[in-house]
Amino acid sequence: MKILFFGDIFGRSGRDALIKELPYFKKKYNPDFVLANGENASHGKGISKSICDDLFSAGIDVITGGNHIFDNNDVFKFIDKEKRLLRPNNYPIDTPGNGFGIYEKNQKKILVINVMGRVFMNALDDPFESVRKVINEKIIGENISGIIIDIHCEATSEKMAIGHEFDGKAGLIVGTHTHVPTADARILSNGTAFISDLGMCGDYDSIIGMDKTKALERFKKKTPVKGIHPATGEATLSCVLVDLNDKTGLAESIKQIIKGGSLEESS
């Protein structure tokens, strides 16, 4: 089973590029299941129903979230009903939306879990226990075909800790949030494909997606700066392609793919 997972979609530049190029990715790599982190898809903060609909229509199967998932108020109108849009599972129990889902495609059941780290981020429930409760009796290769975890997190060490804790219990664990693709895509010792951060789908001639001119002012002056907007140049699409064994649900390969924009391409 082939999985494509795209990094944080940032603003119009990122989402337009992904929608435009997704047919290329599907034709070249023939994935069975496609995911993307979408918490920054709406002008850099949050996501709307129309954007979700556009991404689903383009061929994204599941959209994961993070700390900005509720920044666009439109999301409250539909997140409870839209099971293909996830928010972190370790949010408080009464938070709208879902932190995980089981999706059936091509006669396979795929469990996707979205969880958020706590180092340098908001104080949430324990991400380790949150994942453990969801996985519980779901065993890849037996009653579930594949398990995918998005750990939305600031600290690389915390992402790696999640990776090693659930190595062999999930087929793919990806880090999101920091918008910079890391060079550590690999298969861990017990068979889980892992990368510390997918990077983003957005304009890298920026400061993690935002227009660099205004963002620089904020760093240099340390005063409130108005008018910070997403960068609008050509986007780079950053993702991983993972092949999961149909019998065990564990990874046979992981490949980082970077296409377009200002980063050096790899394919």
Please write the tens of the pLDDT for every residue from 124-146: 999 999 999 999 878 787 889 99
Of residues 50, 61, 159, the one with CA closest to residue 102: 61
Q: Is the pLDDT of residue 236 over 90?
A: yes
Residue given tokens 């949430």 in the structure block:
124
- Domain ranges for the chain: 2-259
pTM listed for this prediction: 0.95
Residue given tokens 């089981």 in the structure block:
102
How much of the chain exceeds pLDDT 90, in percent?
A: 83
pLDDT average, residue stretch 152-169: 96
Please write the tens of the pLDDT for every residue from 50-101: 999 999 999 999 999 999 999 999 999 999 999 999 999 999 989 999 999 9
118-122, 161-165, 166-170, 243-247: range with lowest mean pLDDT: 118-122
pLDDT average, residue stretch 250-265: 95
Residue 224: the pLDDT is: 80
Residue 166: the pLDDT is: 97
Q: Is the pLDDT of residue 29 over 90?
A: yes
State the catalytic residues.
Answer: 68
Domain 2-259 class? alpha beta
Residue 219: the pLDDT is: 85
